[in-house]
Amino acid sequence: MTARSFWPPAEAAQVDYETLRDHLLEQGLLPDGLAAARFARRGLAGLIAWPVAEPVFLAEITGAERQRWSPHLDTRQDALAACYQFLLDAATGATNLFLAEVQR
C-alpha cells in the first residue's frame, strides 16, 4: 500500500512534481517538457510558482443524520414562522418609512 492511494495529488504543482519524480525514478533523467525545464532552471520553487498541470479538484460528499421527527418539536414550523415574522417586520418598517415621508 502506498501513500499515493491515501493522498492523491490535488494541486497542479504537486502533479508536476510527482510526474517528474516518477519519470526520473524509471528513466534516470528528467523528461523533455516545460515542467522539467522549470524544475531544472528554478528548482521546486519554479514548479510551485508556475505549475504546468491543470489543478485537480476533489469533492467529497458527507452525509448527515436527519433529525428524528417529533410531533412536539418541528423545526420546519419554527423556520417558517421566523420567515413570516421577517416579512411582516419588513413590511411594517417599509410602511412606517412611507408614512414618515408622507408626513414631511
pLDDT digits (tens, 9 = 90+) for 20-56: 989 989 998 888 888 888 888 888 888 888 877 776 6
The predicted model gives 65-72 an average pLDDT of 69
The predicted model gives 61-86 an average pLDDT of 76
Name the DSSP class of 66. P
Residue 26: per-residue pLDDT: 92
Nearest-angstrom CA–CA distance, 14 and 47: 8
Nearest to 43 by CA among 11, 16, 23, 22: 16
Nearest-angstrom CA–CA distance, 93 and 86: 10
Residue 1: per-residue pLDDT: 39
Nearest-angstrom CA–CA distance, 83 and 91: 12
Cell of 13: 504543482
- Other residues' Cβ atoms within 10 Å of the Cβ of residue 19: 17
Report yes or no: 21 and 39 within 8 Å, Cβ to Cβ: no
Residue 7: per-residue pLDDT: 60
pTM of the predicted model, to two decimals? Answer: 0.44
